[in-house]
């Protein structure tokens, strides 16, 4: 698949600002590979909002209208998110840091453990999960899913979304251990997943897998 228009436009604006990719990556505190993902391999319609805001400040200091960058995240000048309180679950208000973090998702084979009981902290709820009462977030740790997911990112989970081939999932094992991988297929006996770094397929016993949760978005960690 081709990269998104947002990715192509980001590259054009960076070149207009005469900023090398390495300089942008270092300013963000990222590796070069991590930043390259958003110009060379990113396929979503919009950039993450927090990334666009940081780039707007950087590019704005080099002659680029910050509004050009914010548009890549779907933010129009003077626009406010449109949502109705009728769509929100009881006790949830727009902008509230109410989305529970249920664990730190290891990229490597070590995995992580889902929180047992109440979450230890909450993060901002993205617009895509407004009204999804059972949604939650995870922090990424490890590098086995780079360049798709990087350590320090927040991933957002909607347990109500169906699992489809090649979607990305958080896997919860029967013992509470969990990790992030790409879903390939499942049968009565096995669940087959894929990791990127190093690339390989992983076969799990279906009896040991408690639940697969579909990942629906990412954002920078705000911790």
Q: How far apart are CA 24 and CA 52, in angstroms?
A: 12
Give tens-digit pLDDT for 98-124.
788 887 665 554 445 565 556 667 888
* pLDDT (0 to 100) of residue 47: 86
Q: How far apart are CA 111 and CA 108, in angstroms?
A: 6
* pLDDT (0 to 100) of residue 77: 53
Mean pLDDT, rounded, of the chain = 79
Q: Among residues of the chain, what percentage have pLDDT more than 70?
A: 80
Q: How far apart are CA 56 and CA 62, in angstroms?
A: 10
In sequence order, which residues have a C-beta less than 8 Å from that of residue 106 and are 6 or more positions away?
112, 141, 142, 179, 180
pLDDT tier at 175, thresholds 50, 70, 90: confident
Give tens-digit pLDDT for 53-64.
889 888 988 999
Give tens-digit pLDDT for 182-204.
999 999 899 999 999 889 999 99
Q: Are 180 and 108 in contact (CB under 8 A)?
A: no
Q: Are 25 and 37 in contact (CB under 8 A)?
A: no
Question: If you compute the radius of gyration of the chain from its CA atoms, what whole number of angstroms results?
Answer: 18
Tally of residues, the chain = 223
Q: Are 180 and 155 in contact (CB under 8 A)?
A: yes
* pLDDT (0 to 100) of residue 3: 86
Q: Are 200 and 192 in contact (CB under 8 A)?
A: no
User: How many CB atoms neighbour CB 81 within 10 A?
Assistant: 10
Report which of residues 39 and 93 the model is more confident about: 39
Q: Are 84 and 33 in contact (CB under 8 A)?
A: no
* pLDDT (0 to 100) of residue 200: 93
Q: How far apart are CA 165 and CA 212, in angstroms?
A: 12
Give tens-digit pLDDT for 56-88.
888 988 999 988 998 898 876 544 333 332 333
* Domains in the chain, CATH or no CATH each: 5-73 (1.10.260), 86-220 (2.10.109.10)
Q: Are 145 and 197 in contact (CB under 8 A)?
A: yes
Give tens-digit pLDDT for 29-55.
888 898 999 999 888 888 887 788 889
């Amino acid at each position: 698949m081709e990269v998104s228009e947002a990715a192509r436009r980001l590259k054009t604006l960076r070149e207009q600002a005469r900023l090398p990719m390495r300089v942008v990556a270092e300013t963000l505190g990222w590796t070069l590979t991590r930043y390259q993902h958003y110009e060379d391999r990113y396929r979503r319609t919009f950039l993450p909002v927090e990334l666009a805001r940081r780039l707007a400040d950087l590019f704005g200091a080099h002659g680029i209208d910050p509004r050009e960058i914010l548009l890549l995240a779907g933010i129009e000048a003077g626009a406010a998110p449109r949502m109705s309180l009728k769509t929100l679950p009881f006790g949830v208000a727009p902008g509230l840091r109410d989305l529970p973090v249920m664990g730190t998702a290891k990229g490597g084979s070590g995995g992580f453990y889902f929180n047992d009981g109440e979450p230890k902290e909450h993060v901002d709820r993205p617009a895509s999960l407004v009204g999804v009462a059972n949604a939650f977030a995870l922090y990424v740790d490890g590098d086995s899913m780079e360049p798709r997911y990087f350590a320090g990112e927040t991933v957002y989970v909607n347990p109500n979304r169906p699992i489809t081939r090649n979607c990305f999932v958080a896997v919860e094992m029967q013992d509470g251990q969990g990790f992030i991988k790409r879903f390939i297929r499942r049968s009565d006996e096995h669940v087959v997943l894929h990791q990127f770094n190093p690339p390989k397929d992983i076969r799990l016993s279906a009896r040991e897998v408690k639940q697969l949760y579909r990942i629906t978005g990412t954002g920078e960690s705000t911790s």
